[in-house]
Amino acid sequence: MDSMTIIAVASIVTAGITTSFGTMAPALGEGKAVATALGSLAQQPDAAKTITRTLFVGLAMIESTAIYCFVVSMILIFANPFWKHVIAQATGK
């Protein structure tokens, strides 16, 4: 396998694995957060505003790790510097 094939295969496989981990782990964390928030809402409905706001902030922080994975996958697929370099070499020849 020449280097072009290796780079392509590595990029595609890594992008797929990154996205899959990036969707699984934050989903588990967010599920736990929402479950705890619902439990505390049921216990103290008076604090609904604070709980809801804190829940959203916490969800956004967990979501950001998923976004990091997504950004890396997108870079690997669409703005891959190694692929660009190899393509430039191949067409430059």
Partner 1 sequence: MRLSPDEMIFWQYGFLKLNATIVFTWGLMFVLAAGSKLITRKLSTDLKRSRWQNLLEIVVTAIETQIEDIGLQHPRKYLGFLGTLFLFVAAASLCTLIPGYKPPTASLSTTAALALCVFVAVPLFGIEERGLGGYLKSYVKPTFIMLPFNIISELSRTLALAVRLFGNMMSGAMIIGILLTITPFIFPIIMTALGLLTGMVQAYIFFILATVYIAAGTSVRKPKPEPVPKT
Instruction: Report the site for partner 1 in 71-90 (rule: CB under 8 A).
Output: 71, 74, 78-79
Rule CB under 8 A: is residue 9 a binding residue for partner 1?
Answer: no
Q: Contact region for partner 1 (CB under 8 A) — 4-12, 26-34, 39-47, 57-65?
A: 57-65
Nearest approach in angstroms of CB 73 to partner 1 is 10
Q: Does 42 bind partner 1 (CB under 8 A)?
A: no
The answer to whether the CB of 69 falls within 8 A of the CB of 17 is: no
DSSP 93: -
Using the CB atoms, write b or e for 50-78: b if 16+ within 10 Å. ebeeebeebbeebeeebeebeeebeebee
Is the Cβ of residue 71 or residue 87 nearer to partner 1 in the bound state? Answer: 71
Q: In terms of DSSP H, where are the helices of the chain? A: 3-43, 48-78, 81-92
Return the number of the residue (3 or 64) whose C-beta is nearest partner 1. 64
